Structure 1
Amino acid sequence: VDIIAHCVLIVCLSAVCGISPLNTRIVGGQNAPPGNWPWQASLQSSGSHFCGGSLINSQLLLTASQGNIPASLTVSLGLQSLQGSNPNGVSRTVTNVIKHPNYNSRTNDNDICLLQLSSPVTFTDFIVPVCLAAPGSTFFSGVSSWVTGWGTIASGVSLPPPGNLMEVNVPIVGNRECNCNYGVGSITNNMICAGLRAGGKDSCQGDSGGPLVSKQGNRWILGGIVSFGNGCAQPNFPGVYTRMSQYQSWINNQITSSQPGFVTFTSTGTDSDLSISCLCFTFPPILLYT
């Protein structure tokens, strides 16, 4: 009976994940309409937001491993703004922090972390788990993606009151081109990049751990987790994200029940990144999005 119930729950999560019922700073972005991104979480310490996360089932969040996660941590879901009234918001404390054992703080490889909430949350129009990119997913250069968060709107420029959730649309940048930008070997297969060659749109400090999602059919699929970049929204330096499709086995091994919904994202056409080659490489300083 327990096995049957577990399988039914997996099917249910796969059916509900990534559906944003109300979705018919991020640098260079705009205010997100209420309920557009119902998996978005705010990680807070002493009442202050410090990074983002994504709900993946009723009691688990995905975020980044980088930085010191405080002992006293609150997760808020269903928020529209950091200040003022949030009638659809709920909060939970965190009872367990599971960082990837192979996280490398120097290179930011395997920058992924699971947070267990003190009790399950109820799914509503404003609180829904996101689907996760399954192994074998293909995100070709130019694939449309969205990043959301409450981070700074430029390097060192705080999000103004009331602190509305921000959203920005950026295209995927292939790993070959991204390696040309950051220096050969800097971008591993566990990373995915997104941004504009001209700059102007990007995630920034305080967005770390938040979602990079792309839409397939009627579902939003988490392709990446905000990780690092050379400044924010700089030309030829796209944001770098943890590549979600590399981590299904690790996540499943940490969860004994209520497995999240994994969905294969498939790009159409051909990948222009395959024709990219670099004649020279630079090694700019890396600025973490914390």
Structure 2
Amino acid sequence: HDRYNYRVELGKHSLKTSEQGSIARRAATIITHDDYNSMLSRNDIALIKLSSPVTFSDAITAACVPDRGVVLPHGSPCYVTGWGRLSTSGPPADILQQALLPVVGHDACSQPDWWSVLATDKMVCAGGDAVTAGCNGDSGGPLNCQNPDGSWDVHGVVSFGSGQGCNVLQKPTVFTQVSSYIDWITTVRNIFLLRLPCQHNQWT
């Protein structure tokens, strides 16, 4: 099938309601990482170039990315958002869901009874309390974390969770760590002239 037959919704909150201020754009180009490994979820990241520019509004603005190499400390409060399933084998969400997921440091997440070697240092783990987690359908969504100055960075991209269910103890949601891919993002942006118009001082 046409790999670019995708539509990107912006300013969207409800999937079943026509919302004022929300717009849609066709995906003109999708750039996946050259070394993506689907079996191990390595380098699980892609960028999308939209078919036409987007005008920012009260409902639509740019997401910031962290500085290269930033690693969040254990316990950092971050938020996952998405329209994935509301519970294991449950219905998908109609309204955008948001959940607080504290970061689980790599030393803990890579323990044998956690994610072991599946969790690499290019991933961020968050959650794992058997209460709150990302779920099927949240993949590709952001892990947003607030900076001391009040700005927000996208530190993660939902990659995988436990096959046993969405809320499994010591099996936190695993995200691609965006700060490990800043050089790749910059290279792709320069090649495809993608604009990432975000400055921290634009945020309040």
* Residue type at the aligned position of 2:121: N
For 1:249, the equivalent position in structure 2 comes to 183
Cα distance change of structure 1 residues 173 and 131 upon mapping to structure 2, 3 Å threshold? same
**Matched residue SS, 2:117:** coil
Please say if residues 127 and 133 of structure 2, whose CA atoms lie closer than 8 Å, have aligned partners that are also in contact. Answer: yes
More displaced 10-residue stretch of structure 1: 94-103 or 251-260? 251-260
* Residue type at the aligned position of 2:172: P
**Matched residue SS, 1:75:** strand
1:185, distance to aligned residue in structure 2 (A): 1.8
For 1:229, the equivalent position in structure 2 comes to 161
Taking structure 2 as the reference length, what is the TM-score of the superposition?
0.88
Cα distance change of structure 1 residues 167 and 183 upon mapping to structure 2, 3 Å threshold? closer
Q: CA RMSD in A?
A: 1.8
More displaced 10-residue stretch of structure 1: 209-218 or 133-142? 133-142
**2:108 aligned to 168, 173, 177, which one?**
177
Instruction: Please show how residues 41-56 of structure 1 align to structure 2 within 5 Å.
Output: none
* Residue type at the aligned position of 1:215: Q
* Residues 248-285 of structure 1 deviation map (CA, whole Å, 9 limit, x = unaligned): 1111111134345487xxxxxxxxxxxxxxxxxxxxxx
Please say if residues 132 and 260 of structure 1, whose CA atoms lie closer than 8 Å, have aligned partners that are also in contact. Answer: no
More displaced 10-residue stretch of structure 1: 124-133 or 250-259? 250-259
Distance 2:95 2:198 in 1: 28
For 1:81, the equivalent position in structure 2 comes to 14
* Residues 113-163 of structure 1 deviation map (CA, whole Å, 9 limit, x = unaligned): 011111011001110111101113130110000010011011221135xx1
**Matched residue SS, 1:212:** strand
**Matched residue SS, 1:133:** coil
Distance 1:262 1:210 in 2: 21
Instruction: Please show how residues 140-179 of structure 1 align to structure 2 within 5 Å.
Output: 140-159=73-92, 163-179=94-110
For 1:32, the equivalent position in structure 2 comes to none
Instruction: Please show how residues 95-134 of structure 1 align to structure 2 within 5 Å.
Output: 95-134=28-67
* Residues 179-221 of structure 1 deviation map (CA, whole Å, 9 limit, x = unaligned): 114453211111010004x311011111100000110122111
Please say if residues 82 and 98 of structure 2, whose CA atoms lie closer than 8 Å, have aligned partners that are also in contact. Answer: yes
The percent of aligned pairs where both chains have the same amino acid is 35
Cα distance change of structure 1 residues 246 and 233 upon mapping to structure 2, 3 Å threshold? same
Structure 1 unmatched ranges of 5 or more: 1-67, 264-290
* Residues 35-84 of structure 1 deviation map (CA, whole Å, 9 limit, x = unaligned): xxxxxxxxxxxxxxxxxxxxxxxxxxxxxxxxx99541111010110002
Is residue 190 of structure 2 the alignment partner of residue 190 of structure 1?
Answer: no
Distance 2:138 2:115 in 1: 24
**1:209 aligned to 140, 143, 152, which one?**
140
Taking structure 1 as the reference length, what is the TM-score of the superposition?
0.63
